[in-house]
Amino acid sequence: MFKSLRVGALAAALMAATSLTAVAEVVLHRDNGGEPETLDPHKTSVTTENNILKDMYEGLIGLSADGKLIPGMAESWTISDDGTVYTFNLRDAKWSNGDPVVAGDFEYSLRRIMDPATGAKYATVLYPIKNAEKVNKSELPKEELGVKAIDDKTLEITLESPTPYFLGLLQHQTGLPVHPATVEEHGTDFVRPENVVTNGAFIITEFVPNSHVTVVRNENYYGNDDVQIDKVVFHNIEDRGAAVRRFEAGEFHIVDEVPTEQMAHVKSTMADQLLVAPYLGTYYYALNHESEKLKDPGVRQALSMAIDREFLADEIFAGTMSVAYSIVPPGIDNYGEPAYAEYKGQSMIDREDEARELLEAAGYNESNPLKLELRYNTNENHKNAAIAIADMWKPLGVEVSMLNTDVKTHYAHLRDQGDFDVARAGWIGDYSDPQNFLFLVESDNTGFNYARYNNPEYDALMDKAAATLDLEKRADIMKQAEVLFMRDLPFIPILHYSSKKLVSDKISGYEPNLRDEHQSRWITVSE
């Protein structure tokens, strides 16, 4: 009995020793910032899913480490002269089960996301594809979608109208393919680790809800030789303080988002591992254009002018946000410099004086204050920002009352045309193009135009930009639209988002980029 135990122990020790001497497995521990709701690339809607999906799947267009569009499953492509027909030539690539990736897979996948029966939350991103909207609304059968596999290696996508940012849309997580045979066989259960077949650098082995997702090297991936990491564990935790502590203890290599309240601590102890970079998003206050109190353009300008954005960025958000004087974030593709507010660069004192005059002209002062209700979704940072802004407005004769609700209630209220004066909101771009910010306040955009801004001139400019092929001319037209935006202020742009990461010094190949997307295939881990 004892002998056999000893032998067993010896064997176990030997096995452990040999597996250690074999090439050590390279594991990357990524904090994912939250729980993925689904790992079905056609039901996906949030970044916590994007991080994982982009490791598992590869679309026609890929993204380099520094955030540039690069060939993915498509090796090359041509665009017709009128900008509406894209022809993609696929590379020799395989699914994780060894099947070749063919054009038909993309035809199947794009039809699937538009099929109303799929219940895709983010299908709208791909609406520029011909008939996409009609298919998604059940007005046409999915076979009518403007996507055609000419042969196994050639895919043709026809658009409704020229869309200069279309390649960027295909790079979005909704453009990822699924393996048709697996979906047909398992239905919605095709996402299960035991069923799923993927074409990206990694394949999933484990999905524990409220804990983690594990993916491992996909030997069939065409770029497998250049991938250093064998296994990635995505830790789906929401508690930001815990994430920082786990990073400090060496359990995580990357923290997805450093919370504002930890910035001072992080800066003093781990400054060399902190990466703060511009991110494609704007934090704004929507002004209700149907509210009598905000009808006067002077009043709206005064409110915007009096906000000390530098103070908010540095003090309230501890340097994790940057000031915004335009709705479109600087550095975006296909644009150039955004149309900044005139008072950018002006001193705060002058701006306050000017704002006071404007409000005075509208009949408001400290004895006859303008009473506004400010709504925000419950969050410590939003609260602090709201208090600071109310304080900045107060000396001008603006009296703010605040109302906070949970995030679902907040956005449901704005969307259902509920009554409000001023409301906090934020927008993170889905693709790097000014259209993705300026379209928010088109008059027919009932979902996002919280301000109920209705300016035919603005709409006309946006329509004209959509029909313009020449990128420079198009940028000019959109800039004219942004000038109108900054004049009428449906939203007051306050801050631009930044990504704020902790990246261990064991990590290389992690480059900050505007899309804040970092596929594990580019990352290397050293011991």
Q: Does 6 bind another protein (CB under 8 A)?
A: no
Residue 211 engages another protein in binding (rule: CB under 8 A): yes
343 contributes a contact to another protein by CB under 8 A: no
Distance CA 336, CA 433 (A): 11
Query: How far is the C-alpha of 407 from the C-alpha of 376, rounded, in Å?
Result: 8
DSSP 8-state assignment for residue 168: H
In the bound state with another protein, the residue whose beta carbon lies nearer, of 208 and 349, is: 208
Under the criterion CB under 8 A, does residue 307 sit at the interface with another protein?
no
Residue 216 · residue 230 · CB < 8 Å:
yes
Site string for another protein, 156-195 (x = CB under 8 A): --------------------------------x--xx---
The contacts of residue 99 (CB under 8 Å, 6+ apart) are: 179, 181, 197
- Mapping DSSP to helix (H, G, I), strand (E, B) and coil, where does residue 473 land? helix
At 224, list the tokens. Answer: 């497998």
Secondary structure, 3-state, 474-495: HHHHHHHHHHHHHHHCCEEEEE
Any idea which residue has 């990352």 for tokens? Answer: 523
Interaction of residue 506 with another protein, rule CB under 8 A: no
Shortest distance (Å) from residue 443 CB to another protein: 16
**By CB under 8 A, is residue 122 in contact with another protein?**
yes
- CA–CA–CA angle 443, 445, 448 (5° rounding): 115
Task: Report the nearest approach of another protein to the CB of residue 438 (Å).
Answer: 16
Count the neighbouring beta carbons within 10 Å of the beta carbon of residue 210.
Answer: 8
Task: Give the contact letters, 251-270, x = binds to another protein (CB under 8 A), - = no.
Answer: x-------------------
Pattern of binders to another protein over 354-393, x per CB under 8 A? Answer: ----------------------------------------
Beta pairing class for 370-377 and 398-405:
parallel
Between CA 344 and CA 346 the distance in angstroms is 6
Site for another protein (CB under 8 A): which residue of 8, 116, 141, 363? 116
DSSP 316-357: ISTTSEEE-SSSSPTT-TTT-S----TTTTS-HHHHHHHHHH
Q: Which stretch binds another protein (CB under 8 A): 37-45, 103-111, 177-185, 291-299?
A: 37-45
Which residues between 277 and 296 bind another protein (CB under 8 A)?
Answer: none
Q: In residues, how long is the chain?
A: 527
40 binds another protein (CB under 8 A): yes
CA contacts within 13 A on the Cβ side of 454: 6
Q: How far is the CB of 447 from another protein (least distance, A)?
A: 4
Q: Which of 5, 20, 22, 208 binds another protein (CB under 8 A)?
A: 208
Q: Write out the binding residues for another protein, residues 430-469 only, by CB under 8 A.
A: 446-448
408 is a site residue for another protein (CB under 8 A): yes
* Residue among 238 and 419 whose Cβ is closer to another protein: 238
Taking a C-beta distance cutoff of 8 angstroms, is the pair 305, 320 a contact? Answer: no
Q: How many residues bind another protein (CB under 8 A)?
A: 53
Among 93, 237, 358, 396, binds another protein (CB under 8 A): 237
For residue 148, the tally of other CB atoms under 10 A from its CB is 15
Binding footprint of another protein on the chain (CB under 8 A): 35, 37-40, 43, 45, 116-124, 133, 136-138, 188, 191-192, 207-212, 235, 237-239, 241-242, 245-246, 248-251, 406-409, 411-413, 415, 425, 446-448
